């Protein structure tokens, strides 16, 4: 089990915010970093028409992208020497259809190893409904010293 979340330094937080601004999917879909702690990230997304499929509900791929981004950030923030986190595997359950509002992905590291990090992510809507549940595995690449 990982230690309780710890506050990031200002430099680490700035680095995380910069990383999200540099993410093409994050910019395109309007992801916003809400919380960043050691091994924990919360990212939200206001729902817009570009997020919806033909039935006028949020496309599952958009929800998966939100969960994957939050999970990647949690993995990236799990250690001060992590330079990249790359998705190896993702399993997601879509539990509720979403027509509008705001989606929030809350990702927490379950296990942080030397090269692999396991992350759990809940995606909720602005009514508090659990709309998606994801379990992800990330390769964690450390900075070269």
Confidence tier at 82 by pLDDT (50, 70, 90): confident
The two tokens of residue 137 are 């595995």
Q: What is the CATH number of domain 10-142?
A: 3.10.129.10
Confidence tier at 1 by pLDDT (50, 70, 90): very low
For 111-125, the pLDDT digits (tens) are 998 899 999 999 999
The span from the CA of 12 to the CA of 114, in Å, is 20
Phi-psi region of 56 (alpha: psi -120 to 50; beta: other; left: phi over 0): left
The two tokens of residue 130 are 């659990």
pLDDT greater than 70 at residue 58: yes
The two tokens of residue 39 are 């091994």
For 14-48, the pLDDT digits (tens) are 777 777 777 778 788 899 999 999 999 999 999 99
Domain boundaries, the chain: 10-142
The span from the CA of 43 to the CA of 121, in Å, is 11
Give the model's pLDDT for residue 2: 46
């Amino acid at each position: 089990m990982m230690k309780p979340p710890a506050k990031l330094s200002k430099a680490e937080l700035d680095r995380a915010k910069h990383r999200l601004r540099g993410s093409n999917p994050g910019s395109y879909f309007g992801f916003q970093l809400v919380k960043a702690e050691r091994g924990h990230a919360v990212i939200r997304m206001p729902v817009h028409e570009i997020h919806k499929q033909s039935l006028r509900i949020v496309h599952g791929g958009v929800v998966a992208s939100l969960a994957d981004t939050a999970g990647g950030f949690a993995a990236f923030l799990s250690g001060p020497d992590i330079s990249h986190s790359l998705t190896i595997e993702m399993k997601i359950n879509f539990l509720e259809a979403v027509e509008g509002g705001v989606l929030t992905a809350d990702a927490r590291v379950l296990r942080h190893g030397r090269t692999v990090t396991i992350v759990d992510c809940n995606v909720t809507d602005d009514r508090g409904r659990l709309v998606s549940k994801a379990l992800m595995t990330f390769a964690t690449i450390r900075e070269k010293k």
